[in-house]
Structure 1
Amino acid sequence: MAERIEHKPEQSTFEIYVGDALAGHADYTEISGVRTFDHTVTEPDFRGQGIAGKVVTAALDATRAEGLKIIAGCSYVEKFVAENPEYKDLLA
């Protein structure tokens, strides 16, 4: 099934869909050019498929493109950045 990622700034979240089903999301708060990613969720039916990594990759790439920095407020984003050093420059 096709996957798509949507940034919903009005809800401070990046969502990933598999087909029409919401498979996961990465939520953030943004203050003064810094996005604190505080919660990453993969819905139970989609766990073990790399969904969280895909939505976090898209969220961090979009954050970089917008010229913002991040704080890894949730353990998943913290681990993701530690394992993917190409994103360490985003850390505030």
Structure 2
Amino acid sequence: MENEIAITDAKDASRYEARDADGNLMGFVDYKLLGSVISFRHAETLPEYQGHGVAGKIATKSLDDARDAGLRVRPACPYYQHFLEKHTEYADLVDAEK
């Protein structure tokens, strides 16, 4: 299943989506973009796809895109908070809320 996961930024819906080779939605993360800060608000993997690394692939793609765009990240979602604790290579992106 690993090679069948495609991650895209569905900008019209303000979310990153993971889809399988048949185009079925596997998971997503909702975000809000305000200026140069992107806030990841809610990540969800559909039950039938849990345990296959879907959320991690979405997080990696979305954080890599944030870095490439020069954005700061606010991890409002518990999944992103935990992911960022484990993946310190993204620590420089985190924007402390004021």
| TM-score band w.r.t. shorter chain | over 0.9
In structure 2, give the amino acid aligned to 1:36. Answer: S
User: Which structure 1 residue ranges, 5 or more long, are not aligned?
Assistant: none
- Residue 79 of structure 1 deviates from its aligned partner by 0.3
Q: 2:54 aligns with which of 37, 51, 54?
A: 51
Q: Which has the higher strand share?
A: 1
TM-score (ref. length: structure 1): 0.95
Quote the sequence identity (%). 34
CA RMSD of aligned residues (A): 0.9
* Residue pairs, 1:44-83, within 5 angstroms: 44-83=47-86
1:30 is matched with which residue? 33
- Between the aligned partners of 1:70 and 1:25, the Cα distance in structure 2 is 17
Q: Are 1:39 and 2:13 counterparts?
A: no
- Number of matched pairs: 92
After TM superposition, what 4+ stretches of structure 1 lie above 2 angstroms from structure 2?
none
- Do the aligned residues in 1 keep the contact of 2:5 with 2:54 (CA within 8 Å)? no
Superposed CA deviations along residues 9-56 of structure 1, whole A, max 9, x for unmatched, are 121111011122110011100112100100000001000111100011
In structure 1, give the amino acid aligned to 2:34. Answer: I
